[in-house]
Amino acid sequence: MVGDRQYCGGFAVCACTDFNPFFGGGISGLFGDPLVDRLESWKLSRTLSVVVVFVTIFLLLLLFFLFLVPVLETQTKLFINKVPNYLDWVVNVLGLI
């Protein structure tokens, strides 16, 4: 154990936990900056452009998850209900147990 992290590949463990905010910021900047530049060319201030871009991205992600979560819930329930049938099929076909 090294500090409060288990040593499992050294840097990879730290990169996965400590650098996530930096990766997220870099990705949002990478995709957001061209949109901000476009809004600036339409005579909006940079601050207002950044606010518009990030509010838009946040709302799109929110809508995506609002539609995705119910579908995933339904699919998960259907799968859980069919697991006994799958197990019976495996037992019958492969002759297990």
> 97: which DSSP letter?
-
Q: What is the pLDDT of residue 35?
A: 94
- pLDDT exceeds cutoff 70 at 91: yes
Q: What is the pLDDT of residue 5?
A: 53
Tell me the domain boundaries of the chain.
11-94
Angle, helix 46-94 to helix 20-41, in steps of 10 degrees: 130
Q: What is the pLDDT of residue 6?
A: 54
Q: What is the DSSP string of 30-86?
A: HHHHHHHHHHHHTT--HHHHHHHHHHHHHHHHHHHHHHHHHHHHHHHHHHHHHHHHH
What's the pTM? Answer: 0.59
Least confident of 42-46, 81-85, 86-90: 86-90
- How far is it, in rounded angstroms, from Cα 88 to Cα 71? 26
Q: What is the pLDDT of residue 25?
A: 85
- Read off the pLDDT of residues 8-65 as tens digits, 9 standing for 90 and up: 555 555 556 777 788 888 888 898 999 999 999 999 999 999 999 999 999 999 999 9
